[in-house]
Structure 1
Amino acid sequence: MNWILLIIAGLFEVGFATCLGKAKEATGNSALFWMIGFFVCLSISMFLLYRATLTLPIGTAYAVWTGIGAVGTVLVGVFIFKEPATFWRIFFLTTLIGSIAGLKFVSN
Protein backbone atom coordinates (compact mmCIF):
# COMPACT_ATOMS: atom_id res chain seq x y z
CA MET A 1 0.00 0.00 0.00
CA ASN A 2 2.82 2.41 0.82
CA TRP A 3 4.35 1.93 -2.64
CA ILE A 4 1.02 3.00 -4.13
CA LEU A 5 0.99 6.09 -1.89
CA LEU A 6 4.52 6.85 -3.01
CA ILE A 7 3.59 6.58 -6.69
CA ILE A 8 0.60 8.86 -6.17
CA ALA A 9 2.84 11.31 -4.28
CA GLY A 10 5.20 11.30 -7.27
CA LEU A 11 2.31 12.05 -9.62
CA PHE A 12 1.30 15.00 -7.46
CA GLU A 13 4.91 16.17 -7.70
CA VAL A 14 4.47 16.20 -11.46
CA GLY A 15 1.27 18.15 -10.86
CA PHE A 16 2.95 20.87 -8.82
CA ALA A 17 5.78 21.21 -11.32
CA THR A 18 3.25 21.48 -14.15
CA CYS A 19 1.23 24.09 -12.26
CA LEU A 20 4.41 26.07 -11.67
CA GLY A 21 5.21 26.02 -15.39
CA LYS A 22 1.67 27.08 -16.32
CA ALA A 23 1.67 29.85 -13.68
CA LYS A 24 4.85 31.22 -15.24
CA GLU A 25 3.04 31.55 -18.58
CA ALA A 26 -0.21 32.94 -17.16
CA THR A 27 -1.26 36.41 -16.03
CA GLY A 28 -3.85 37.80 -13.64
CA ASN A 29 -6.38 35.44 -12.06
CA SER A 30 -5.21 32.57 -14.23
CA ALA A 31 -1.74 32.73 -12.66
CA LEU A 32 -3.34 32.81 -9.20
CA PHE A 33 -5.35 29.66 -9.94
CA TRP A 34 -2.23 27.85 -11.19
CA MET A 35 -0.39 28.87 -8.03
CA ILE A 36 -3.25 27.56 -5.88
CA GLY A 37 -3.01 24.29 -7.83
CA PHE A 38 0.73 24.30 -7.17
CA PHE A 39 0.27 24.61 -3.39
CA VAL A 40 -2.52 22.01 -3.29
CA CYS A 41 -0.45 19.48 -5.27
CA LEU A 42 2.62 20.28 -3.19
CA SER A 43 0.75 19.70 0.07
CA ILE A 44 -0.80 16.43 -1.08
CA SER A 45 2.51 15.19 -2.46
CA MET A 46 4.39 15.95 0.76
CA PHE A 47 1.71 14.37 2.94
CA LEU A 48 1.67 11.17 0.87
CA LEU A 49 5.48 11.06 0.87
CA TYR A 50 5.41 11.35 4.66
CA ARG A 51 2.87 8.51 4.90
CA ALA A 52 4.91 6.28 2.62
CA THR A 53 8.08 6.85 4.65
CA LEU A 54 6.42 5.53 7.79
CA THR A 55 7.23 2.02 6.55
CA LEU A 56 9.59 2.47 3.57
CA PRO A 57 13.25 3.45 3.93
CA ILE A 58 13.55 7.23 3.59
CA GLY A 59 16.42 7.06 1.10
CA THR A 60 14.58 4.72 -1.24
CA ALA A 61 11.24 6.51 -0.87
CA TYR A 62 12.74 9.93 -1.53
CA ALA A 63 14.72 8.71 -4.53
CA VAL A 64 11.67 7.02 -6.06
CA TRP A 65 9.46 10.06 -5.34
CA THR A 66 11.92 12.46 -6.97
CA GLY A 67 12.49 10.05 -9.84
CA ILE A 68 8.78 9.78 -10.60
CA GLY A 69 8.54 13.55 -10.42
CA ALA A 70 11.55 14.04 -12.67
CA VAL A 71 10.42 11.54 -15.30
CA GLY A 72 6.86 12.83 -15.26
CA THR A 73 7.94 16.46 -15.42
CA VAL A 74 10.22 15.79 -18.40
CA LEU A 75 7.36 14.01 -20.18
CA VAL A 76 4.99 16.90 -19.42
CA GLY A 77 7.66 19.28 -20.68
CA VAL A 78 7.97 17.37 -23.95
CA PHE A 79 4.26 16.82 -24.57
CA ILE A 80 2.68 19.95 -23.04
CA PHE A 81 5.38 22.61 -23.10
CA LYS A 82 6.89 21.41 -26.41
CA GLU A 83 10.41 21.01 -25.02
CA PRO A 84 12.83 19.09 -27.28
CA ALA A 85 12.93 15.29 -27.06
CA THR A 86 16.54 14.76 -28.08
CA PHE A 87 18.29 11.40 -28.08
CA TRP A 88 20.29 12.20 -24.94
CA ARG A 89 17.25 13.42 -22.99
CA ILE A 90 15.40 10.19 -23.79
CA PHE A 91 18.52 8.11 -23.09
CA PHE A 92 19.05 9.59 -19.62
CA LEU A 93 15.32 9.49 -18.91
CA THR A 94 15.42 5.76 -19.66
CA THR A 95 18.38 5.23 -17.34
CA LEU A 96 16.53 7.16 -14.63
CA ILE A 97 13.49 4.90 -15.01
CA GLY A 98 15.75 1.85 -14.78
CA SER A 99 17.32 3.21 -11.61
CA ILE A 100 13.92 3.84 -10.02
CA ALA A 101 12.79 0.30 -10.86
CA GLY A 102 16.07 -1.07 -9.47
CA LEU A 103 15.57 0.72 -6.17
CA LYS A 104 12.09 -0.74 -5.87
CA PHE A 105 13.35 -4.26 -6.52
CA VAL A 106 16.18 -4.11 -3.98
CA SER A 107 14.02 -2.60 -1.20
CA ASN A 108 12.09 -4.66 1.31
Structure 2
Amino acid sequence: MAWLYLVIASFGEIFGVMFINIYLQKKSLQWLLMVILSFSGGFLFLSLAMRDIPLGTAYAIWTGLGAAGAVLIGIFFFRESAGWKRMLFLCCIIAGAVGLKAIE
Protein backbone atom coordinates (compact mmCIF):
# COMPACT_ATOMS: atom_id res chain seq x y z
CA MET A 1 0.00 0.00 0.00
CA ALA A 2 2.92 2.34 0.71
CA TRP A 3 3.99 2.27 -2.94
CA LEU A 4 0.48 3.21 -4.04
CA TYR A 5 0.59 6.13 -1.58
CA LEU A 6 3.91 7.18 -3.06
CA VAL A 7 2.50 7.18 -6.60
CA ILE A 8 -0.51 9.22 -5.44
CA ALA A 9 1.88 11.63 -3.68
CA SER A 10 3.77 12.03 -6.95
CA PHE A 11 0.55 12.99 -8.71
CA GLY A 12 0.06 15.65 -6.05
CA GLU A 13 3.41 17.12 -7.03
CA ILE A 14 2.76 16.80 -10.76
CA PHE A 15 -0.61 18.51 -10.58
CA GLY A 16 0.76 21.06 -8.12
CA VAL A 17 3.36 22.32 -10.60
CA MET A 18 0.80 22.21 -13.40
CA PHE A 19 -1.54 24.39 -11.33
CA ILE A 20 1.33 26.78 -10.57
CA ASN A 21 1.79 27.28 -14.31
CA ILE A 22 -1.94 27.85 -14.81
CA TYR A 23 -2.04 30.20 -11.82
CA LEU A 24 0.81 32.28 -13.25
CA GLN A 25 -1.15 32.65 -16.48
CA LYS A 26 -4.60 33.38 -15.00
CA LYS A 27 -3.89 34.78 -11.49
CA SER A 28 -7.15 33.70 -9.84
CA LEU A 29 -7.85 32.49 -6.32
CA GLN A 30 -9.30 29.25 -7.72
CA TRP A 31 -5.98 28.21 -9.24
CA LEU A 32 -4.04 29.26 -6.15
CA LEU A 33 -6.29 27.02 -4.06
CA MET A 34 -5.69 24.16 -6.51
CA VAL A 35 -1.93 24.63 -6.03
CA ILE A 36 -2.30 24.49 -2.25
CA LEU A 37 -4.64 21.48 -2.30
CA SER A 38 -2.49 19.51 -4.75
CA PHE A 39 0.72 19.98 -2.81
CA SER A 40 -1.03 19.36 0.51
CA GLY A 41 -2.44 16.08 -0.79
CA GLY A 42 0.96 15.13 -2.14
CA PHE A 43 2.62 15.76 1.22
CA LEU A 44 -0.10 13.83 3.04
CA PHE A 45 0.35 10.76 0.86
CA LEU A 46 4.14 11.10 1.00
CA SER A 47 3.95 10.98 4.78
CA LEU A 48 1.76 7.87 4.61
CA ALA A 49 4.20 6.19 2.22
CA MET A 50 7.16 7.02 4.46
CA ARG A 51 5.70 4.89 7.24
CA ASP A 52 6.94 1.83 5.31
CA ILE A 53 9.42 3.16 2.74
CA PRO A 54 12.80 4.54 3.87
CA LEU A 55 13.11 8.33 3.72
CA GLY A 56 15.82 8.48 1.05
CA THR A 57 14.05 6.05 -1.25
CA ALA A 58 10.61 7.61 -0.80
CA TYR A 59 11.83 11.16 -1.33
CA ALA A 60 13.98 10.31 -4.36
CA ILE A 61 11.19 8.41 -6.08
CA TRP A 62 8.60 11.07 -5.18
CA THR A 63 10.70 13.86 -6.64
CA GLY A 64 11.78 11.75 -9.63
CA LEU A 65 8.24 10.79 -10.59
CA GLY A 66 7.11 14.34 -9.93
CA ALA A 67 9.83 15.79 -12.13
CA ALA A 68 9.21 13.27 -14.92
CA GLY A 69 5.46 13.88 -14.74
CA ALA A 70 5.95 17.64 -14.78
CA VAL A 71 8.12 17.39 -17.89
CA LEU A 72 5.44 15.30 -19.63
CA ILE A 73 2.66 17.71 -18.58
CA GLY A 74 4.76 20.58 -19.96
CA ILE A 75 5.24 18.78 -23.26
CA PHE A 76 1.66 17.60 -23.73
CA PHE A 77 -0.30 20.54 -22.32
CA PHE A 78 1.97 23.60 -22.42
CA ARG A 79 3.78 23.02 -25.74
CA GLU A 80 7.24 22.75 -24.22
CA SER A 81 10.10 21.24 -26.19
CA ALA A 82 10.36 17.45 -26.50
CA GLY A 83 13.88 17.32 -27.94
CA TRP A 84 15.99 14.20 -27.77
CA LYS A 85 18.24 15.56 -25.02
CA ARG A 86 15.27 16.33 -22.84
CA MET A 87 13.87 12.84 -23.43
CA LEU A 88 17.26 11.27 -22.68
CA PHE A 89 17.51 12.97 -19.29
CA LEU A 90 13.87 12.20 -18.54
CA CYS A 91 14.74 8.54 -19.06
CA CYS A 92 17.67 8.98 -16.66
CA ILE A 93 15.30 10.27 -13.98
CA ILE A 94 12.97 7.32 -14.49
CA ALA A 95 15.89 4.86 -14.49
CA GLY A 96 17.09 6.31 -11.19
CA ALA A 97 13.67 5.87 -9.59
CA VAL A 98 13.43 2.29 -10.87
CA GLY A 99 16.97 1.59 -9.64
CA LEU A 100 16.15 2.84 -6.14
CA LYS A 101 13.10 0.58 -6.02
CA ALA A 102 15.15 -2.37 -7.27
CA ILE A 103 17.81 -2.08 -4.57
CA GLU A 104 15.39 -1.59 -1.67
TM category, shorter? over 0.9
- Match of residue 36 from structure 2: 39
Q: Within 5 Å, which residues of 2 pair with 1:91-106? A: 91-106=88-103
- Please say if 1:81 is aligned against 2:78: yes
Q: What SS does the corresponding residue of 1:79 show, helix, strand or coil? A: helix
CA-to-aligned-CA distance 1:35-80 (integer Å, 9 cap, x gap): 1000001111001101111111000000000001000000000111
* Aligned ranges 1:49-68 → 2 under 5 Å: 49-68=46-65
The yes-or-no answer on 1:69 pairing with 2:66 is yes
Q: Secondary structure at the match of 2:94?
A: helix
Task: Report the count of equivalent residues.
Answer: 104
Shift of residue 89 of structure 1? 0.3
Segments of 4+ moved more than 4 angstroms: none
Q: Which runs of 5+ in 2 are unaligned?
A: none
Separation in structure 1 between the aligned mates of residue 101 and residue 11 of structure 2, nearest angstrom: 17
Q: What's the counterpart of residue 20 of structure 2? A: 20
For residues 67 and 34 of structure 1, the distance between their equivalents in structure 2, rounded to whole angstroms, comes to 24
For the residues of structure 1 that align with 2:88 and 2:39, how far apart are their CA atoms? 28
Distance 1:50 1:60 in 2: 13
Identity, % of aligned positions: 36
> How far apart are residue 101 of structure 1 and its match?
0.7
* CA deviation string 1:20-41 (max 9, x = no partner): 00000104xxx21111000001
Structure 1 gap segments, 5+ residues each: none
